[in-house]
Chains A and B, each alone.
Chain A
């Protein structure tokens, strides 16, 4: 896949670029601030952009604002935010437009290169990759609403893993249950959240959005 990297710390920027190149991906550009990121995405039309949230010029949430713009102006480009913090308000702002083609990971997830690259791939393909920490917080913020309260603990676990962007098989592996059991849980979630019968992928996204939307509004 074609990747643009925006990270102001040179050491991490170069390492990411090196790692992705070694794995056979094309790093179209690697930049150090939000304005350069916008320009690079417009120029290279990458499949996905890896974006640090705290970047120049203001070093607060410049990356997040650029990410939201990119999702709106270049829907074909996925955005994976990565940051040293998980902030609920950042996640809600990012997910306000929907959860397709977005990701939000803690920076330390780069310590598992394989999983990080997987997550990047999911976002590039229009999927979602949320850090477990993000999901815990958002689910925590929204867990007291009627619909979510109807879910069993196990179903909530499954929904959380769905929000992280995992497939049924991956969820089964994580929870040490069979794929059939996971399917049953997923079906129960769809039913309890009253989601229309449609393509499975679409319903998964809707379920996740339903959960995240219950979260606080920034």
Chain B
């Protein structure tokens, strides 16, 4: 039962949309492959020649290199687009070099751009493959020309030639209409083979595109991990916030209502009549109130409500509750994501608690600013200093928490003080 299907596949291959798209791909992608190869060869030659001139040649040499890499990246983008549109090979763009300030740093980042270097490798490896692809396309053309040999005869072409796809295969002229039908048969045979040739060339190119034009396995893995980690961090923050909201709208409201009802009952009870009952109700009410207080502290730990109004509000509230004077200065024009805000808040709260517990400081300052995609928190005190990041300690915990979002915490605390702790976090996880 399988045989007829296999036969049909072979017979109809050249009529399939996919085969046509692959042939078009082979044809179109040859152009950038050739142009790219030539340009990169030119860059290489130019590079070689300027470097042989003098040491001063290094400057234009680097510029040639940078230009060549940019060119390769551009060609890579074009090839990715062609591959996606025509052969359905979807490959992500490799990570771009970080934008850095300063000419030297910028040039260095470009020279270290592995994505561009791999695009160069692609352009170099692509040309032989593209040539093969073009040859496969030639099979299509020759097959088609042979198939229409009788039409060419009838259109008045004298002695059309039989075309062979093999180099040096000869081109015997056809002397009769009957012979042209033999050419048609041969053309059909060529057309049966042609799709498999283009498919082979495309398959090779696919591997090359995946290997050299994508982000690379490691870079891709890193990107995946970064994305999923950001999701996890945001999700955790959102869950805590929802938990706090649920407590606020549910248990806390009911407890308040319960305490209120109990107090209304207490008012109804006459002290002379049933003192023990009144006492019992009072105790119940007080228990409800105390539970409410505990619940409030708990949910403040989950998500401080002042954070809804941003870090400035939350830090001001934090400072007001502190047992020593705290100067707060917040300059945060760019608002971070809720997860980062909450992380920054807990860093500030923990650091402030440390100052109060250990430093013996008389005053403390909290500064927070956002800019350049970074949140900077600085907590300083005029205490006795000598703090260090002990394993398993509160500071080590903060270092860990900052690291979960690629942030960092640095401590400067000489003996005798003052102590400064700097926390740097990205604006989003």
Contacts and interface: CB of A to CB of B under 8 A. Distances in A.
Interface of A: 8-9, 11-12, 15-16, 19, 22, 54, 59-61, 84-85, 87-90, 107-108, 110-114, 137-138, 140-141, 143-144, 215-216, 218
A88 B257 contact: no
Contact of B317 (A12, A84, A87, A107): A87
Pairs A-B, 4 closest by C-beta atoms: A111-B259, A88-B320, A141-B320, A60-B308
A54 B316 contact: no
Interface stretch (B148-156, B215-223, B287-295, B370-378): B287-295
Contacts of A60: 305, 308-309
A15 B261 contact: yes
Query: Secondary structure of the B side of the interface?
Result: helix
A85 B307 CA distance: 12
Q: Which of B285, B306, B317, B322 neighbours the largest number of chain A CB atoms within 10 Å of its CB?
A: B317
B93 interface: no
Contacts of B285: 111
Contact of B263 (A9, A16, A111, A143): A111
B263 A85 contact: no
Contacts of B309: 60-61, 89
Query: Secondary structure of the A side of the interface?
Result: helix
Given A60-B309, A89-B316, A108-B259, 6 more contacts: A9-B253, A12-B253, A108-B256, A111-B285, A111-B289, A137-B320
Nearest to A88: B320
Contacts of B292: 84, 107-108, 111
Interface stretch (B44-52, B244-252, B340-348, B421-429): B244-252
Interface string B268-286: 0000000000000000010
B316 A216 contact: yes
B267 interface: yes
A88 B308 contact: no
Given A60-B309, A218-B313, A12 B256 contact: yes
A133 B49 CA distance: 80
B305 A111 contact: no
B306 A12 contact: no
B257 A15 contact: yes
B210 interface: no
A11 B321 contact: no
Contacts of B257: 9, 11-12, 15
A138 B254 CA distance: 29
Contact of A111 (B245, B252, B262): B262
